[in-house]
Structure 1
Amino acid sequence: MSSAIHAPVSRPVPIPIGEILPWAAFAGILALLAIYFIGAEQGATALMSGHYLHEFVHDGRHIMAFPCH
């Protein structure tokens, strides 16, 4: 006679929203900063003088289809 051995079933532990929310807000702020510096840091809205930041993110600008010329 053969008997089947059943492994214990483990259930995923839910993560409380209170633990996710600060990290989601932090990631959102970083994403908005990245989009600003890649997409809008030039001309009248520039926070930094000169074109160093523009040239640093120039290729990323074209990859994300932001016009800059």
Structure 2
Amino acid sequence: MMMASAALFDDTFIPVRGNSSIPLEEILPWAVFGLLIAMIFLYFVSTEQGAFAIFKGMYVHEFVHDGRHLLGFPCH
């Protein structure tokens, strides 16, 4: 049993000791990407088919209608 547990931690891709924090240079692009996706989602839920509209018709409004009310955005 001891040999099996030692083999588990013998992998070079699993950091066991040392500094285990992720450098900011690796997190920053993903954080910016996540923020961009969140802002696009917020636009479609809050504004699309309201004061501004990118798409013609009411398709986007009807698709996000319940989410709009759930988040507290008025729409009618």
- 1:4 alignment partner in structure 2: none
- 2:69 alignment partner in structure 1: 62
- 1:5 alignment partner in structure 2: none
Secondary structure of 2:22's counterpart equals coil
Counterpart check, 1:33 vs 2:43: no
Residue 43 of structure 1: CA displacement?
Answer: 3.5
Secondary structure of 1:21's counterpart equals helix
Structure 1: which 5+ runs fail to align? 1-8
Residue 18 of structure 1: CA displacement?
Answer: 0.2
Identity, in percent, stands at 54
Instruction: Give the superposed CA RMSD.
Output: 1.5
Residue 30 of structure 1: CA displacement?
Answer: 0.4
Residue 42 of structure 1: CA displacement?
Answer: 1.3
How many pairs does the alignment contain? 61
The normalised TM-score by structure 1 is 0.81
- 1:50 alignment partner in structure 2: 57
Residue 66 of structure 1: CA displacement?
Answer: 0.1
